[in-house]
A and B are shown apart, each in its own frame.
Chain A
Amino acid sequence: QKEVEQNSGPLSVPEGAIASLNCTYSDRGSQSFFWYRQYSGKSPELIMSIYSNGDKEDGRFTAQLNKASQYVSLLIRDSQPSDSATYLCAVNMFGLTGGGNKLTFGTGTQLKVEL
């Protein structure tokens, strides 16, 4: 069973702080990794993609990937109340037989940014 694991939270951080969200995945063949933000009752919104080991920065967001440890993380700098949402880690096994392009999602981490 290919799994993506996240701590469900809630993770509470004060406004302006750095929020750190973590994700582990079980399948070493995974090739593409994504972070989605989902507000309550809304659809997943893509915020970051990462394909290679290391860091990838986009504005206040930094995604980190360590394939050896099967670990992906998302850092949100200068957290704002509008960042309060559930953050979904999604993993794609493109490149392997039968992997196709389906995304396997974690259960999500609820982030609360407090004033």
Chain B
Amino acid sequence: EPEVTQTPSHQVTQMGQEVILRCVPISNHLYFYWYRQILGQKVEFLVSFYNNEISEKSEIFDDQFSVERPDGSNFTLKIRSTKLEDSAMYFCASSEAMAAHYNEQFFGPGTRLTVL
């Protein structure tokens, strides 16, 4: 069964450093997403991406964040200068389409980001 994969599973970084989180969405999916979940809190939307463009972003997704589809399979989230409050689990998700009945989002296993 096709699945979303993410690397690394755990990333530890120093405050102010740049990190890149990587995702491989399900191969026939066209819509890609990043969410995050701070420990003990709800899952929060960060950004959605379609046709090589950001289609929607949340208030969390400020200038420190960027996303890219560098090739036909990978989808990345970059945090330019990490802050302590960026420590969270980051989930990548993908969906086949946006229309109802095709917009089920499937989540990857996540990357736990720890900022020291």
Contact = CB atoms under 8 A, between A and B. Distances in A.
A and B from one complex: yes
Interface of A: 31-32, 34, 36, 42-46, 49, 51, 88, 90, 92, 94-95, 98, 100-108
A89 B100 CA distance: 17
A95 B103 CA distance: 12
Contact-residue bracket for chain B: 20 to 34
B103 A44 contact: no
A108 B104 contact: no
Contacts of B95: 101
A7 to B, nearest CB: 14
B75 interface: no
A107 B42 contact: yes
Contacts, number: 67
Interface of B: 31, 33, 35, 41-45, 48, 55-56, 58, 89, 91, 95, 98-101, 103-110
A88 B48 contact: no
A63 B89 CA distance: 28
A101 B48 contact: yes
Nearest to A44: B107
A32 B98 CA distance: 10
Contacts of B103: 32, 92, 94, 101
